[in-house]
A and B are shown apart, each in its own frame.
Chain A
Amino acid sequence: MFDLEASLAKWREELAKGGTLDRDSLAELEDHLRDAIERRVAAGDEASQAFEAACASIGDAQALHLEYAKVHPKVPWRRRLLNALVGYVLVSTLIGLVFQVSALLEVILLALGLGAIMIETPWSIPVDPNSSFFAGLASAMHEWHQLSLATLFTMGAQAVLFALLVWTVTRGMRGSLIWVTKAVDWCQTSLPTQLAASVGLGVAFWLVNYGMLVPYVLNFLRYTSGDPDPVAPYLEYQLIYPLIAWIVPLALTWIGWSAFRIFQSDQRNGLYHTHAIAVCGFIFGAMALQAINMINGIGYFALEAFWNIESILSPPAVLMAQVTPFLFALVFIITLSGVGFPTLRRFLSGAIKRPWLIPACWLFMQWASVPFTLAFYPNGLYLNDWEWVNRCFLAPLLHSRWAPLFLTLKGSAAFAIVLTSLLIALNLSARRPASRPRSVA
């Protein structure tokens, strides 16, 4: 006796084995199959005949998997890991560059006389915060000096790394870095080598982004022990930055190259689109970065509480600053994984084709956050001795209620410059004709 339900369950089980069709897709196909069977039975067919005919008309499993894979690609977890690491590098580099570009904008603004720094210049030129043009110029010179050799090293390294990554992902560096290709091949020979390479790169990324915490903590200990010279940590910065800023980019090139090869291979197989993966990795990386920042923030508070020092930031403000981007990243992950937020997913797909949309939205988000920032700083921001070691602010604006607005605008402008460059580069690469066939798979 033919059992329709058992046959349908078996058909569904067989179709699910390929791993390409998710629960929704299977349910949709089963509904289609049931409709086709009901129609045939109503026309006089036996249930078993109707089932066989309906299965044949819906298509064989292999062809279905191939078509579904083009629309709903399944990405192996190792590739996800690699994408996350690539995204992490891109995000880290991007954020680093944003800070550097922001610092340069600050210098330009000071040179234009739009403010003055609150500390004395090394040339003992008195700087009036309600400054004239000359005071602004002196401030700009001081700010440039404050960037220091170490910062310039970092800026140079980040720019080189950023250019390498964009170049690697968009055009590749075939022929110019054979040893990198060989290293990538070796790293991809087995799971242990790939994992070892991934872990090694993870450590390298941490060094690039958080290695600076080591001299920072040293400085903190020195400060709390009564050292009168807070500029001293620049010595540690100057030693560590060149090391981590110039050696690590070469290692990071590996991951860009590796990702590029995977993208190429996937594109050849029609599995999924390079840009979707780039965005995915970017967001995975952003989430990882925010998660680490959040942990750092909590640790920072623990340190402050332990040393009983005055904080320049209120705990609610910092928690908001740490948690909010994390939640945003989580929304993006859910969106890109296809679980929810279809409207946002459509927006992201559209944004890839219109690169100006993302920085525009980022700017909007920054501006929208200003009322919150003002609520947390009703009397304006202020500096403590720690802050001016690392950054120099524009004193007149800093002590006004518009300080958060100004800082937001400046940071946003820097972010927009960097991100727009990246997106335009990706967009231009998408318009290039297909590259010539490669002999190396």
Chain B
Amino acid sequence: MLAILTQGESYGYAIIQEVKKRSGGHLEWTDGMLYPVLHRLEQEGMIRSVWKKSDTGRDRKYYRIERAGRKVVEKQKAEWRAVNGALEGLWEGGAACSI
């Protein structure tokens, strides 16, 4: 979710659609569960929300990533790349993996 918000501000429904699209349908969850996660991220200062009028004329809550959130995304990206690189190296090198 944080990675999606680095592309610009968005709202709950659009974030879920984006997650489904980007993961090729591999990542799916009950839609309503997204919001408590967003609220927790907001409480932790990683994102900020604001109510605005949407194109449909309805009030809609938009989320925007904060500096702390960007830092977390960068850190997690680096960690995942490191893990991914290590595993690729192991598997391509033919090492046995009993896990």
Contacts and interface: CB of A to CB of B under 8 A. Distances in A.
A346 B32 contact: no
Given A35-B13, A71-B40, A58 B30 contact: yes
A390 B33 CA distance: 59
A35 to B, nearest CB: 4
B32 A59 contact: yes
B31 interface: yes
8 contacts: A31-B58, A35-B13, A36-B13, A57-B30, A59-B30, A64-B32, A70-B36, A71-B40
Contacts, number: 66
A342 B30 CA distance: 28
Contacts of A319: none
A345 interface: yes
Contacts of A59: 30-33
A27 interface: yes
B8 to A, nearest CB: 18
A350 to B, nearest CB: 7
Interface stretch (B43-51, B70-78, B79-87, B91-99): B43-51
Nearest to A345: B43
Contacts of B45: 346, 349-350
Contacts of B35: 25, 28-29, 32, 68
A24 B31 contact: no
Interface residues of B, number: 22
Nearest to A346: B45
Contacts of A28: 12, 35, 61
Given A71-B39, A349-B43, A349-B45, A29 B13 contact: no
Interface of A: 24-25, 27-29, 31-32, 34-36, 38, 57-59, 63-64, 67-68, 70-72, 342, 345-346, 349-350
B39 A29 contact: no
**Chain A interface mostly helix, strand, loop or mixed?**
helix
B23 to A, nearest CB: 16
Contact of A32 (B12, B43, B44): B12
B36 A68 contact: yes
B43 A63 contact: no
A436 B56 CA distance: 54
Interface in B38-71: 39-40, 42-45, 48, 54, 56, 58-61
Contact of B59 (A27, A58, A63): A27
Contact of B58 (A25, A34, A68): A34
Contacts of A57: 30-31
A34 B60 CA distance: 11
A64 B29 CA distance: 12
B13 A67 contact: no
B39 A36 contact: no
B58 A63 contact: no
B10 to A, nearest CB: 12
B54 to A, nearest CB: 8
A63 B31 contact: no
A207 B40 CA distance: 41
Residue from B11, B36, B59, B61 whose CB has the most chain A CB atoms within 10 Å: B36
A67 to B, nearest CB: 4
A31 B43 contact: no
Nearest to A34: B58
